[in-house]
Structure 1
Amino acid sequence: MPPKTTPAWILSEQKGIDSLQLVQENPIPEVGDNDVLVKIHAASLNYRDIVVAKGEPALPFFRPGVIPGSDGAGIVEAVGANVNGFQVGDRVCTHLTSGLPANQPTTMVDICQSGLGHNYDGTLAAYAVLHETALVPMPANLDFFQASTLTCSGLTAWNALFGIDSLKPKKGDWVLVQGTGGVSIAALQFALASGATIIATTSSNAKADRLKLLGAHHVLNYREDANWGQTAKNLTPNGHGVNIVLDVGGLSTLTQSLKAIRVDGLIALAGMLGSAPDGTPAPTLMDCLSNSCTVRGFLLGTRDQYREMNKFIVEKGIEPVVDERVFDFVETKQAYELLQEQRHFSKVGIRI
């Protein structure tokens, strides 16, 4: 018989990390006709989880008492009467949104209204009842920690690189990734597996060494080189510029991304955390015209893209990167703190 309660973290209010509360016997909802009961084995965190905990206005529609977390992987324990795609024993990982068609792009409204760990109960629990549309099969070559990184970071990186078929990376292309967060590390791995030459940025010499170990061909320290976008362009053959820039900093990095990109290149705009440097005007849409490039804004990816990504991961033998410190379930607040202080590398994992 499935359990009736589960250990779970809940957010009763939005006053930061201290709003997280561990409940040992949180009731498990009944499994509906289109629901799946999953025993969660591992979860990972995104900066979005901190934004939700703080109650920042970018993500409204918060439901008090929600179980936070969107990223997770586990084993199916029970399925509803109308579920056809999963059966007991399947290894699965979560998709952030619930109830969307498999080919429908995600909007900010979708994330707020149907996002796991926000308006729907998420993955920071030993057991979760999820709509079947919030799940995909796990890549067979991954463990639960690795698979738990795919929900947001992995899928965002995949959509950034492969979302436009005619511009997806290939052998001979150059790709620029920024920083050492989960999206950038996943993009590095995907682009490298496609045969591209990788330029990565960081502010840390220690992290630069790790980027090189992962296969980055060039690493630029953006604190030591304020004009790193031009430096990246100069590294490319004949100084033509990179084919794809994964921009995760928004206004704080977009000016340099525009300097790095080649004519007809793609800037995949996946982040909005920063502000323009002091004394620097914020880029506008007209900068796309003067640089003759495509700037594409997007959020996450579809379930169809998720399945394509997982197939690629298996075919290429890619193993997603989790920070060397993995937290136990009772240490979830410390995991949030590590992420908030940006002391992590790639993804912060939680053992459940």
Structure 2
Amino acid sequence: GVPGDHEDGFASQSVTMSAKGFSPMPRHMSFAEAATLPCAALTAWRALVEETNLRSGDWVLVQGTGGVSIFALQIAKHLGCKVIATSSSEAKLEKLRALGADEVINYREEPEWGRLASEMTGGVSLVVEVGGPGTVTQSVRALRIGGTISMIGVLTGISGDVPLAEFFQRNAVMSGITVGSHLHQANMVKAFEEWELKPVLDRSFELAQLGDAFRYQESGQHFGKIVLNLN
């Protein structure tokens, strides 16, 4: 299983695991920065690199400003792709632009943001889907012919409708992504070192403030990753 999902996580000062469960951290990152990689970064990396043949100039759509979406934006830009990003916050949309997003959409003001994204880009090659049933219809409408949806999150529910006619008319692919393999992580670390990519960190909490950290994440105020200090 996935630690923190199917089995206990690592909100602990000491953890014992098989040596195969660990890998070297990037040499240019702090421990706090490297701690963001095995879940959010690896998930984004697998979606953009290991399972999708993106080419320079392709459009990638990212949703919101959580860890996976921010890493996806950063990786896409290093691959030479163009990025269209969505958020309901104008302040966050400005931050996304500053981070490299080529186009942004306020989905609260544009409920048909999928069609708008398609019009703005000619159709995106990849949607990094973190919303689930509440967003997948718009994700399908944003795709170009032969585009891919990487189904990563289900923030709006665990089941729902998919516009199947539009999906097959686009000859689309939907792939479920839950983190990645040891090899995927090794490939990612090597690339991040070459790119000197740094994670976007939001706030840091002490271990005793774990509940506060989760409540802060639940509030949706964060931009990037929330860090837990185990010292």
The two structures have a TM-score, normalised by structure 2, of 0.93
Asked if the contact 2:63/2:130 (under 8 Å) is kept, the reply is yes
C-alpha distance in 2 between matches for 1:253 and 1:245: 11
**What secondary structure sits across from 2:222 in the alignment?**
coil
Give CA deviations for 1:268-300 in whole Å, capped at 9, x if unaligned: 111122149xxxx82155543122111111211
Name the SS for the 2:23 alignment partner: strand
Worse-matched range after superposition: 337-346 or 309-318: 337-346
CA distance in 2, matches of 1:274, 1:264: 25
SS in structure 2 at match of 1:259: helix
Hey, what does 1:315 align to over in structure 2? Answer: 194
Name the counterpart of 2:13: 126
| 2:115 corresponds to | 230
- Which is greater in Rg? 1
- 2:206: which partner in 1? 328
- Of the three residues 244, 250, 263, the one matched with 2:126 is 244
1:136 aligned to which of 20, 23, 29: 23
- Say what the alpha-carbon RMSD is for the aligned residues: 1.8
Residue-by-residue CA offset, 1:198-244 (whole Å, 9 max, x unaligned):
100000011111111111111100000011111111112xx3x0111
2:225 is the alignment partner of 1:347: yes
Distance 1:146 1:305 in 2: 18
Could you say which residue in structure 2 is the equivalent of 1:23?
Answer: none
| Distance in 2 (alpha carbons) for counterparts of 1:286 and 1:302 | 33
Q: Could you tell me which amino acid in structure 1 is paired with residue 12 of structure 2?
A: A
Match of 1:208 among 93, 96, 99: 93
How far off is 1:152 after superposition? 0.9
- Determine helix, strand or coil for the equivalent of 1:349: strand
Q: Which blocks of at least 5 consecutive residues in structure 2 are unaligned? A: none
Contact map agreement 2:40 2:67 (CA 8 A) in 1: yes
**Partners of 2:147 and 2:170 within 8 A in 1:** no
The amino acid that maps onto 1:182 is G
Alignment-mate amino acid for residue 347 of structure 1: K
Aligned residue identity for 1:292: N
Matched-pair contact (CA < 8 Å) for 2:137–2:163: no
Structure 1 residue 300 corresponds to structure 2 residue 167? no
* Farther-moved stretch of structure 1 (342-351 vs 307-316): 342-351
1:343 is displaced (CA, Å) by 1.8
What does 1:5-16 correspond to in 2, within 5 Å?
none
C-alpha separation in 2, matches of 1:247 and 1:211: 17
Pairing 1:273–2:155 present:
yes
Cα pair distance change 1:117/1:342, threshold 3 Å: same
- In 2, Cα distance between the equivalents of 1:329 and 1:163? 34
Deviation at 1:341, TM superposition (A): 1.7
CA distance in 1 between partners of 2:103 and 2:38 (Å): 28
Q: In structure 2, how many angstroms separate the alpha carbons of the residues matched to 1:117 and 1:250?
A: 17
Quote the sequence identity (%): 38
Aligned counterparts of 2:207 and 2:153: Cα–Cα separation in 1: 28
- Structure-1-length-normalised TM-score: 0.62
- Structure 1: tracts of 5 or more residues without a match: 1-109
Give 2:39's aligned amino acid.
C
Higher strand share: 1
**What is the rounded CA distance, in whole Å, between the counterparts of 2:86 and 2:21 in structure 1?**
33
| Partner in structure 2 of residue 168 of structure 1 | 53
How far does the alpha carbon of each residue in 1:129-149 deviate from its partner, in whole angstroms, 9 at most, with x for none? 222122111011111111111
Output the CA distance in 2 between the equivalents of 1:119 and 1:316: 33
Secondary structure (helix, strand or coil) at the match of 1:306 reads helix
Higher relative contact order at CA 8 Å, sep ≥6: structure 1 or structure 2? 2
Of 80, 84, 87, 1:199 maps to: 84
